[in-house]
Amino acid sequence: MTDKKFSLKGKNILVTGGRGFVGKHVVSKLESKQPKKIFAPRSKEFDLRDSKICKKVVQGADIVIHMAANVGGIGYNREKPGELFYDNLVMGVHLMEEARIAGVSKFVSLGTICQYPKITSVPFKEDNLWNGYPEETNAPYGLAKKMLLVQSQAYRQQYGFNAIHLMLVNLYGPGDNFDPSSSHVIPALIKKFVDAKKRKDEFVVVWGTGNPTREFLYVEDAAEAIVLATEKYNKTEPVNIGSSSEISIKDLALLIKKMTGFEGSIVWDKTKPDGQPRRKLDVSRAEKEFSFKSRIGFEEGLKKTILWYFQQYK
């Protein structure tokens, strides 16, 4: 089972979350592989928290790529930990079970860097995944995703079910979520600086101390990694998907400030949480197993994202 390679040509592929930020790019790349059909159900029409809906959408699928998620930044995680745990756990558990019953040939579940312990040796290696509890502000979300890894390994052991698990860093790029109530740090900062520039504000307030570091992956690179893994990876071990670069939130804010042309100052609200102290992945497994390596440099990707935002919100 682990050595089986998948041609996507002529296959029926279910992509949950296929109309979302990352999903659109994944669907576009899948289309170039000449599948028979790609089905990307809309969340408004297909509530995947319902097992009956999951049973319905997996019928006839050869491959399932599960990308649908309830996700957001630190503020959103603090506000809705119960929803994030329940929604993400139940969607994945039901979908994988129904896919197994339906005889789906391969199941790809997307995890998150939030699965890692709060304090982890840098760069994060997949073998360190169980060495502690996740960072508190996003633990419910991270643990819900982590259980899909447990499920995929258990299903492979008992049923021979070919399920793989990919753990992605924070993604960014054109089309990201810029809603301040639920966005991640890059779109949140872009919006803050652009809006402040328009209003001619003297300063912008940014959460935390600015000391934590983060790793970011451009959305098109992420889509490439997901499709490559779908084609080529068939093993039980989880795989990190990232760029293996690291930048502090302080340097990130200064860079976005410069790129957006905001001339005021930055005020750090140290009453707000920093989140995990450092985040940087060891991505050697992805390169070894399915030849993935990120191609878009961080400043290049950031420029594209800011330009897209300016064009959308003139």
Q: Find out whether 19 is annotated in a ligand binding site.
A: yes
Number of other residues whose CB lies within 10 A of the CB of residue 275:
21
Peptide bond into 212 cis (omega under 30): no
**103 is known to lie in a ligand binding site:** no
Is 279 annotated among the ligand-binding residues? no
Check 86, 116, 133, 141 and give the catalytic one.
141
Q: Was 23 annotated as part of a binding site?
A: yes
Whether residue 273 has a cis bond before it, omega within 30° of 0: no
Q: What's the angle, vertex CA 287, arms to CA 166 and CA 20, rounded to 5?
A: 40
Helix, coil or strand: residue 65: strand
Residue 268's SS3 state is: strand
Residue carrying structure tokens 């995703």: 145
Q: Helix %, strand %, coil % for the chain, to 5? A: 45, 15, 40
Chain-centroid distance of CA 158 in Å reads: 28
How long, in residues, is the chain? 314
Give the C-alpha separation, 42 to 58, whole Å: 14
HSE, CB side, 13 Å, CA atoms: give it for residue 2: 7
Sign of CA dihedral 289, 18, 139, 215: positive
**Known catalytic residue: 172?**
no
**Is 195 one of the annotated binding-site residues?**
no
Q: Is 18 annotated as a binding residue?
A: yes
Tell me: is residue 214 an annotated ligand-binding position. Answer: yes
Reference 66, options 100, 23, 36; nearest CA is 23
Copy the structure tokens of residue 149: 């890894």
**How many whole angstroms separate alpha carbon 197 and alpha carbon 194?**
5
Q: Say whether 22 counts as a known binding-site residue.
A: yes
Check the annotation: does 55 bind a ligand.
Answer: no
Give the angle 284-133-172 at the CA atoms, nearest 5°: 50
CB 21 within 8 A of CB 218: no
Annotated binding site for substrate: 192, 207, 214, 274
Annotated binding site for NADP(+): 17-23, 145, 184
Annotated binding site: 17-23, 145, 184, 192, 207, 214, 274
- Catalytically active residues are 141
